[in-house]
Amino acid sequence: MTVHTDYYELLGVERGADERTIKAAYRRLAMECHPDRHGGCTEKEAKFKQLNEAYDCLKDPQKRAAYDRFGHAAFEQGGFGAAGAGAGPDFSDIFSSIFGEFMDPRGARQNAARGADLRYDLELTLEEAFAGKSATIDIETMAPCEPCEGDGARGSAVPETCKTCNGAGKVRAQQGFFVVERGCPTCYGHGVTIADPCPVCQGEGRTLKRRTLTIQIPAGVDEGTRIRVAGEGEAGVRGAPGGDLYLFVHLKRHALYEREGTTLIAECPVSFTTAALGGAITVPGIDGEAIEVKIPAGIQSGETLRLRGKGMAVLSGRGRGDMVARILVETPTRLSAKQKELLCQFRETETGEECPATKSFFSRIKDALG
């Protein structure tokens, strides 16, 4: 007499457990006992087959009802589901349960009929990237057919489950030791057939339309930022899930700022008198407010001044980056006679100590020449 382990006890769930609980328990135990993880251990392989047998029964409402009433006797001696119980584990069901719709023929059919993803290149100014904006875009894409409401059938006609593949969208063929899957030749992978197709969409359930979408662009986006808008791509075939829309952000060149992450860099020319004596300049901030940049006396061309919290907004975060002012000391090219005279007087008073870098340079030249 064969002794059977109670299916509920095997999966570690209560008899009244719902489908989700049973599925979660099976996934966990099946992954733990999978033979590939234990070097082909026969004990683990046997346990793995038992788990699959238990889940195969409890996931099916009719089989579960029979099991709850008659126990294992429901599947013995030609009872309900005997062929399935004696045929050994169905590995497509095993991997479907572990990995979800990725390995499920029905999931594969839905993915095959799923609408295509779309790409849209969106150009923004640096100010728009800083503050974020509500962008309105127009796209021409496949959308659900209105006359047939997306199911592809004319009027009151309804799609019928394909009799060749029983709605799976795929058929299997045995070739030696291998089982080969291919798209169903009758329904072309859709799982349903339509005897009277919609004349507008020719039974596809979708037509080409121009759509207007309003999409919220978050503050702080950068060049190349990708924004995914779920379900706004092409409509799927005959009601299958739609694709996604991907927005790729491109930034226009700014008149003042260059961007490096959250840091804004501005090249700021100053007169040589301001550089020598010190002073201040005003720069327009990316947020529209004026920024005062204080110039210390004696600053050299190419030196930078950092202003904290005056840069770009942080994407999906709080706060702002910094603004960096790169100082460019400009030598005057148009001098009046009075200005030339004053500069000549200044030159006559120079001792060499005013410009230590220049003095050091010529000293090194003198040493090099001996």
**pLDDT category, 91, cuts 50, 70, 90?**
very low
Residues 207 and 227 in one domain: yes
- 169 and 136, same structural domain? no
Residues 139 and 164 in one domain: no
Helices marked H in the chain: 7-11, 19-33, 42-58, 61-70, 82-86, 91-99, 105-113, 126-131, 272-277, 337-349, 356-368
Annotated binding residue 355: no
Same domain, 117 and 249: yes
In 3D space, the residue among 272, 267, 369 whose CA is nearest the CA of residue 326 turns out to be 267
**82 in any annotated domain:** yes
How many other CB atoms are there within 10 angstroms of residue 220's CB atom? Answer: 19
CB 117 within 8 A of CB 243: yes
| Same-domain check for residues 122 and 140 | yes
pLDDT in tens, 227-269: 999 999 999 887 788 899 999 999 999 999 999 999 999 999 9
Q: Could you tell me which residues come within 8 angstroms of residue 17 by beta carbon, excluding any fewer than 6 positions away?
A: 8, 25
Distances (CA, A) of 210 to 92, 138, 140, 143, 149: 41, 7, 4, 9, 17
Among the residues of 12-79, which ranges form H helices?
Answer: 19-33, 42-58, 61-70
Question: In this structure, is residue 242 part of a structural domain?
Answer: yes
Percent of the chain with pLDDT over 70: 85
> How many Cα atoms occupy the beta-carbon half-sphere of 326 within 13 Å?
9
Work out whether the CA dihedral 11, 12, 14, 18 comes out positive or negative: negative
d(CA 99, CA 21): 16
Q: Is 57 annotated as a binding residue?
A: no
Is 331 a member of any domain? no
Are residues 121 and 44 both part of a single domain? Answer: no
Q: How many domains does the chain have?
A: 3
Domain span at residue 248 reads: 113-154+200-253
Residue 165 annotated as part of some ligand binding site: yes
pLDDT at position 175: 65
On whether both 227 and 118 belong to a single domain, the answer is yes
- Please indicate, yes or no, if residue 306 is contained in any of the structural domains: no
**Between vectors from CA 10 to CA 8 and to CA 11, what angle results, nearest 5°?**
65
Q: Please tell me whether residues 79 and 176 are part of one structural domain.
A: no
- Does residue 33 have a known ligand-binding role? no
Lowest mean pLDDT, pick from 170-184, 194-208, 275-289, 339-353: 170-184
Predicted confidence (pLDDT) per residue in 49-86, tens digit = 888 888 888 888 888 888 887 787 776 654 444 434 44
How far is the C-alpha of 235 from the C-alpha of 33, rounded, in Å? 40
Residue 187 CB neighbours (<10 A): 25
Residue 236 included in any domain: yes
**Are 143 and 169 in the same domain?**
no
**Residue 109: pLDDT above 60?**
no
Kindly report the pTM of this predicted structure.
0.59
Q: What is the pLDDT of residues 261-281, one digit of tens each?
A: 999 999 999 999 999 999 999
pLDDT exceeds 50 at position 96: no
CB 298 within 8 A of CB 142: no
CA distance 152 to 160: 11
Residue 35 lies in a domain: yes
Task: Confirm or deny that 268 is annotated as ligand binding.
Answer: no
